Amino acid sequence: MRRNIFLIAIILCEAINVCTAENKFDDVIAHYSRNANDSMKLKAAKFIIKNIHGHFSPGGDGMEEFINRIYATDSPQSQKALATAWNKARGNEKTILVADSSFMDSQWLIEEIDQAFVSWKTAPWADEITFDNFCRNILPYRVKDERICKGWRQKLRKAYGPAVTNTESMTEAFEAITDTIRKTILQSTPYCPYSLDALTTNYVKKADCDQRCILHVAILRALGIPAAIDAVPMWANYSQNGHSWVAMVKSDGATYTIFDDEKGAKQFNKIDASRFSARYKITREDSCPYDVLYEKKAAKIYRLGFEHTNTTTQSTPSILNDRFISDVSAQYGLGGTLTVECNDTIPVYLCVFRSGKNWTPIAQAQPSNGLVTFKNIGCNTVYLPMCIKGKKWTALSEPILVKANGTSHTYTPATDTTESITINRKYPLCSYMTDLWGYMKGGVFEGANKADFSDADTIGAITRMPHGETTIPISKEKKYRYLRYKTSPRSRMPLAELHFYTKDENGKDIELNGTPIWHDVDSTGIKHLTDWKPETVTSAKTTNYWIGTDLGAKGKKPISKIVFMPSSDTNNVEAGDLYELYYFDRQWHLLGRRMANSGILTFDNVPKNAILLLKDKTKGKEERIFEYKNGTQIWH
C-alpha cells in the first residue's frame, strides 16, 4: 500500500490546511446555496470540503517533467522507457507532495462536483444508488494517493462508455469494465514511486497493481458505478506485502468483487490473489518433505476512501495510521473473534507476524471491563495481542491461533517438556514452486558420442518431482563425450546446478569438467550451472530446451552419477550457512545456533507447544513462524 508514503507530510501540513480549506472554498458553498435545486450538490460540496484535509498530490517540477515526457512520446511505451523518463525527470527536478486544498480552486471543485452528478444521474442504475453511497464512492475527485488532474470523468466516460452500452445492470457493467481493463491495461512493475493520475495511466496502458486499481475505480466512478479499492495491508502467512483490488459497493454496503481471472462478480467472494495456482498435484511417490502453502491468509481487510473514517494519533502504528481507511472485513466473510484479558485502559493492538520482520499490528481495540475483543478477523491465523507501554511493545499473552470452528489455541511453551526437532526450511514452500518442479517429471539425461545426439542413450530420468539437490546414480559402463539434460515437453524450469561424475581408479566419484553446450538457453547464465550457488540459475527461452557439456574427443568417460538442482526460492536449509532458532515466550528467546552441514538442521531442548522462528544469519530475509508437530514444520 503505497499510501503510507504520505503520512509524514500529512502530519506536518495538517495544521495549516485545516484552518484554510473552509475559507478558501466559500465560493463553492455560495455557488450551490443560490438555487434550492442544488441542495444535494451543496451537501456534496460540504462533504468534500470537510474531508479534503490530509489529501496530497505528487507535484512539483520533477513530476510535471515526467508527465510531459510521457505525453511527448507515442503510447504505449516500454517499461524501460518509462523508468528512464522518471529517472531523468527526478534527477533534474524535485517531486514534492502538495496539499489538495492548497492548489485546487473553487471553480475546479465545482466542475468536479457537477461532473460527479452527471456520472450518477445519467447512469441507468442511478435509482439504486443512495446519496450516501454516491458521496463515498462516486463523488470524490481522487481515488487514493494519485496525482490529480482535471477533466478525468468526461474523458474516461467517453473512452469506456461503449464497453457498458449493452449491459443491463450495474453488476454487468462492473464485469464489463473489469474485463476491458484486463485486456487493455498491461500489468507492470512500478516505474515511478508515486501514483499517476488516471488519465496518464490510461494513456500509458501499463500499470502496477496500485495504479491499475486507481484507473479501474476512476473509470467505474466516471460511469456512475460506486467503487473503491479494498486491501489486505499485509498477508498473515506470506511475504511482507499486501494486495489491493477493486470492489463495487452497493448502497446497502454489499461488496462485489471479481476473483482473479473469473468473469462474474460475487458478494463474499474469495479474496483477490489469495490463491496460488496448483496445476501440478503432488503424489505420494513424489515424497515431498515440505508442508506446501496454497493460500494466502488475510487477518483484516480495509477500504481506502476519501472520508475521514479512522481516528488516529501520531503514536498509532503506521499501517493503522491512515484516517481514510475503514474496516470491511465482514464484507469478505472474515468472522473470527478473539477476546483476551486486559486490565489496562490503553489501546490494544492485534498483531500478526510480518515475514522477515516481527509482530506487526493490523487492528486496534479499546479494553472494557478487563477484556478486549477483536471482531471480524481471519481464521486459522496466529495472532499476538500487544500494547505500547512507554515506548516498549508488550505482549498481553502468548501467540493465539484463532480457528475456523470458533475455538482457539494458545502457544504457551512447555519449557519443562522439550524435544529434539529436525527442520529443513525457514519459510513455507509455495505451490507455485511445486508446479514448476512437478512438470520436470519426464525430463531425461542423455549421453552421446555424436554432437547432434543422434546416437543418444538415456542414462537417467526424472521420475518424481525433484525438490532441491537431487542425485541420480548411474550403472552404465559405456563412455560418452556429450552429456545433457533434456526437459520434458511441458517444462522450461531453469536449473541452478548440473554436475556429471565418473569413478576414479579408487572407485571415488569425481566431477567431470567440459565445455558447456546448450539449445534455447540464455547464454549469459551458463556459468551458473556449476557454481554451487542455488540462488543463481540458467534460464531457458522455451520449453524443450537442453543443456549439458562436451568432454572433448579424449575425455570420454562412463557416468557414475548425476547431481542436479532445479531453481528454487532458496529458503531450504543450505550447507555452510549459519542458522539461529528462536521460540516465543512473551518475547523471542534464542534456542541455539547451528552451522548447517547438509539440508537439515537438528536442535535439542526445544519446548513443545511453542511458536518457533528460524533465521539464516548468512543470507536471506524470508522467514516465518511455525510450530513443530508430528515431526513436521507447520507454517503460520
Q: Is the pLDDT of residue 46 over 60?
A: yes
pLDDT grade for 401, boundaries at 50, 70 and 90: very high
Task: Report how far residue 299's alpha carbon sits from residue 235's, in angstroms, rounded to the nearest whole number.
Answer: 7
Handedness of CA 155, 159, 165, 171 (dihedral sign): negative
Q: Is the pLDDT of residue 155 over 80?
A: yes
Bigger pLDDT: 314 vs 83: 83
Least confident of 204-213, 295-304, 312-321: 312-321
Which whole number is the average pLDDT over 215-224? 98
pLDDT of residue 535: 93
Q: Which of 221, 216, 230 is nearest to 305 (CA)?
A: 230
Which whole number is the average pLDDT over 111-140? 98
Which run of H or E residues covers position 435? helix 431-438
Which whole number is the average pLDDT over 580-601? 97
Q: Which three cell numbers stand for residue 353?
A: 507476524
| pLDDT tens digits for range 261-304 | 899 999 999 999 999 988 999 999 999 999 899 999 999 999 99
Q: Is the pLDDT of residue 589 over 50?
A: yes
Q: Which of 396, 426, 401, 402 is nearest to 411 (CA)?
A: 401
Distances (CA, A) of 496 to 441, 467, 533, 546, 617: 17, 12, 7, 14, 22
pLDDT of residue 7: 44
Q: Is the pLDDT of residue 3 over 90?
A: no
Q: Which of 497, 488, 480 is nearest to 446 (CA)?
A: 480
pLDDT of residue 636: 97
Q: Is the pLDDT of residue 77 over 90?
A: no
| pLDDT tens digits for range 487-503 | 999 999 999 999 999 99
264: left (phi over 0), alpha (psi -120 to 50) or beta: beta
The answer to whether the beta carbons of residues 282 and 292 sit under 8 Å apart is yes
- Cα 329 off chain centre by: 18
| pLDDT tens digits for range 415-468 | 999 999 999 999 999 999 999 999 999 999 999 999 999 999 999 999 999 999
pLDDT grade for 314, boundaries at 50, 70 and 90: low
Task: Report how far residue 7's alpha carbon sits from residue 4's, in angstroms, rounded to the nearest whole number.
Answer: 5
The answer to whether the beta carbons of residues 201 and 185 sit under 8 Å apart is yes
pLDDT of residue 92: 77
Tell me the average pLDDT of the chain. 94
Q: Which three cell numbers stand for residue 571?
A: 529458503
Least confident of 45-49, 389-393, 524-528: 389-393
Q: Is the pLDDT of residue 6 over 50?
A: no
Q: Is the pLDDT of residue 371 over 50?
A: yes
Q: Is the pLDDT of residue 560 over 80?
A: yes
- Cα 197 off chain centre by: 22
Peptide linkage before 558 cis (omega within 30 of 0):
no
pLDDT grade for 79, boundaries at 50, 70 and 90: confident
Task: Report how far residue 102's alpha carbon sits from residue 25's, in angstroms, rounded to the nearest whole number.
Answer: 11
The answer to whether the beta carbons of residues 534 and 574 sit under 8 Å apart is yes
pLDDT grade for 21, boundaries at 50, 70 and 90: low
| pLDDT tens digits for range 225-254 | 999 999 999 999 999 999 999 999 999 999
| pLDDT tens digits for range 468-482 | 999 999 988 999 999
Residues 6 or more apart in contact with residue 19 via CB below 8 angstroms: none
pLDDT grade for 319, boundaries at 50, 70 and 90: confident
Q: Is the pLDDT of residue 402 over 70?
A: yes
Q: Which three cell numbers stand for residue 54?
A: 490530509
